[in-house]
Amino acid sequence: MEGLSRPELIDPTTRLRPSFLAAVAEFRADRDYPTPWFVTDVDAAALADADAGADAFGAYVARLLAERHEAGVRAGFVPMTTLWWAAGDQMLGRLAIRHRLTRTLAEVGGHIGYDVRPSARRRGHATAMLAAALPIAASLGITRALLTVDGTNTASRRVIEANGGAFLDTVGDKCRYWVPTSPE
């Protein structure tokens, strides 16, 4: 599916609409993991096939970009940088960096969350995507990123550990890790 293009983190763009919509459909059909938060957060109209869906998708992308700044965040949210992991026009995954922690995020969510579409899993994408995001987190002033993961999510725990994550503790059913964002 990746073709010849090398995957990279890119800003959300309407250019990837067809592949984004296909990825969302895969996430919804996935029986291995719960539906990711970002899938439930997509505007329903942005998922429509009709021409009107293109406008709604543009609005969705604009919202993601606006949420990077204090003025664009929803009540109860902190600024968040959403990035897409893409190879050419193919969406492979998404990642979000929360610019600061709240009391809730400190327990569930942490600084960084990511999802790889089911058809692209087990090819190292999550590991590479998190590695690519750490310098961006550093540039946002996050010197060490808190990541939280279900204790049963072996794949994600490996992703975190491969990126230098140090186990902090367990809160409920979540394991917490500190991941340095620049070489120590």
Ligand X SMILES: CC(C)(COP(=O)(O)OP(=O)(O)OC[C@H]1O[C@@H](n2cnc3c(N)ncnc32)[C@H](O)[C@@H]1OP(=O)(O)O)[C@@H](O)C(=O)NCCC(=O)NCCS
C-alpha to C-alpha distance for 20 and 107, rounded to whole angstroms: 29
DSSP lists the bridge partners of residue 9 as 85
Stretch that binds ligand X, among 63-71, 72-80, 131-139, 151-159 (CB under 6 A): 151-159
Nearer to ligand X, 80 or 159 (CB): 159
Among 96, 146, 149, 175, binds ligand X (CB under 6 A): 149
- Contact letters for ligand X, residues 30-49 (x by CB under 6 A): ---x--x-------------
E strands, the chain, where? 8-10, 80-87, 90-98, 112-116, 144-150, 166-171, 174-180
Helical (H) or strand (E) element with 66: helix 51-66
- Looking at residue 51, its amino acid is D
Give me 141's structure tokens: 């002033």
- Contact letters for ligand X, residues 47-66 (x by CB under 6 A): --------------------
User: C-beta of 127: minimal distance to ligand X in Å?
Assistant: 3
Q: Looking at beta carbons, which residue is closest to ligand X?
A: 126
How many CA within 13 A on the CB side of residue 6? 3
Q: Is 162 in the site for ligand X (CB under 6 A)?
A: yes
Residues in 94-133 at the binding interface with ligand X, rule: CB under 6 A: 113-116, 121-127
C-alpha to C-alpha distance for 19 and 170, rounded to whole angstroms: 36
User: C-beta of 58: minimal distance to ligand X in Å?
Assistant: 26
Binding site for ligand X (CB under 6 A): 33, 36, 113-116, 121-127, 149, 153-156, 158-159, 162
